[in-house]
Structure 1
Amino acid sequence: MPAHWLEQSLSTNTLPKDFHLIMKKQFLMATAMASLLALSAGAMAQNLAIVNGKAVPKTRLDALAQQVAKAGRPVTPEMEGQLREEVIAREVFMQEAEKQGISGSDDFKAQMELARQTLMIRELFANYQKKNPVSDADLKAEYDKFAAANGGKEYKARHILVEKESEATAIIASLKKGGKFEDIAKKQSKDPGSGAKGGDLDWANPSSYVPEFTEALLKLNKGQMTDTPVKSQFGYHVIRVDDIRSAQLPAFEEVKPQIAQQMQQQKLAAFQEELRKKAKIE
C-alpha cells in the first residue's frame, strides 16, 4: 500500500470518497485562522499597549495629544513617545488605585463631581466664546474710545509725598533756595516707588492720577513746580513738570490682541451675569 492515499489516488486516477469534505474542512480552517490573525492585527492597531492583561486604547494617546496641541505645543515624534509613556503610566497607577478601592471612597466621589462640574462649565464658556466672537469692528470701536480718552497731552512729572502740610511747605521753600528735587525726594518722599527714583513718575496721561493731583498738574508748564502743597488722600504732594508731549498711543494692530481678550472677558462676564439673573434660586 502506498505511503499516502494521495499517491495511490494519483496512480489509479481515483479519489477517496471524502476527498471534497477533507479539502473543505482544511479551507475553512485556513480561512478562520486568517480572520483571527486579521482581527488580532486590527485590535493591536487600536490599542496602545496591554498592561497586566488589560488593553489600553490608542484613543487615550490621541486625546492627550489633542490637549497638548490645544495648549500651543507641537506634538513631535519625541513628544508622542513621552505621551505614550504617560498614558501607560497612568494605566498602571489606575489599576493599583482600583485594587485599593479608592474610587469607592466618598472623598473621591466628591472630587470627581467637582472635576465634572469644572469641565462642563469650561466647555460651556468655551462654546459661548466660539459662537459669540468679537468682531474687528467692535475691536476698532473700543480702540477709538481708548484713544479718545487717552489722547491729548502726556506729562513727565516728579513729586514728593509727605504726611504733613508743614513738611511740604518746608520742602517747597528749600527747593526755591536751590535744593535738588531728586535728592529731597529720595530722602523724604513717602512714595517708595517714585521716591527711590528721585520722584520720577515717568510719562503719563494726567487722567491717570487722583483728581487733586491732576488738577494741579494741568496748571503747570514745562519746568514749573507747585507753589503750595497739593492735598490728596495719600498726603501732601510737591509736584514738578519736567516735560510735556503729545500722547504716544500704540497702533491698533499692536494692542488688538489685548483688546480682544478684554472684550471677550467682558462678553463672557455679561453672559454669566445673565444666566444668574435668569436662574430661579430659592
Structure 2
Amino acid sequence: MRGITCAAVIFSVPVAALAADPVLFESKNVSVTASDVRADSLRLPPEMRPLVLSRPETVTQIASNLYIRRALAERAVAEGLAKDPDVEAALRIARDKVLSDAMLEKIDKKHSPSAEALEALAREAYKVKPERFKLPEQVKVRHILISGKTPEARAQAEKVLADLKAGADFAKLAKEMSADPGSAQKGGDLDPFSKGRMVPDFESAAFALEKPGALSGVVETQFGYHIIQLQERISTGVRSFDEVKPELLLEARTKFTQDARVAEAEQYQREGKANKEAIDSFSAGFKKTQ
C-alpha cells in the first residue's frame, strides 16, 4: 500500500489546483501544468531559474520531457510496477530527496547572511591571503605566422624578418602574410598572456624580448614559423579588492550555506547510528554473487 500511496502523491494533482494551474502540454490522458515546470526548475540554481523559464522554447522542451516521463509513469502504475518492492523503495527515496532539498533551501534562507556580513568576510579573505590575487607577469606581442615546415616556408619567414628589420610595417605584413586567422586582420596582435598559456617555444621567445619593438628571430613551433614583436611587458601586481569582490562574496555566501548545512547534518548524525550487524549481513549477500 505504501507504494500506491507514494505513486498517488507524485502522480496525482488536486482538481482545485488544476483549475488555477494552466496546462502547458497534454494528451487525452496525461497533462503537464505550469506548477510541474516550476517544480522541475527547482533543480536549477535560483539565479538561473528566471533565465530558463523566460524562454518559451525552453519551457516547451521541459514540458515535453515531463509529459513523456509522466506518460511512462502512468503506464507503469497501470501495469502494476508501483507495487514492485524495489520501485516502492525508489519512490520513497525520490520523495525524500524532493522534501530534503526543499528543507535545505529553507535552511539556506534562514542562515542567509546580511550584505554587510558578507562584505566583511570578503575583505578579511582578501587581507589574509593576498598571494591568491597576485597577477603574474604578462607580455603583449604581435606575430606573423608562416605555416608549414618546408624549406620554402622557412625561407619565406626569414624574408619577412629581413623586411621587418629593414623597416617594413609589421601590421601591414601581418595582414598580408600571416596564416593565423585569429590575429592576422588585427595586425598580428595577440591578447596579453602569462607563462603557461602558449606553446613552449613561442612563449620562451616572447618572454625573452626585453624592450617594446624588439623582434625575435624565426621561431619554429608545430604551427609553422613565427616572427614575434614585443609591444609591452606588463609587470606583476595584485588585483584590487573591487576586481575580486564578486568571487569573494560568492565564496563567503557558499561558506555560510555549507556551514549551516553541515551543522544540520551533524545534528542528525549524532541522533542516528549504523546497525553494523544488518549492514554486514546486507553486504555479505552481494559478496556471494561475485
TM-score range, shorter-chain basis? 0.3 to 0.5
- For CA contacts below 8 A with separation 6 or more, give which structure has more relative contact order: 2
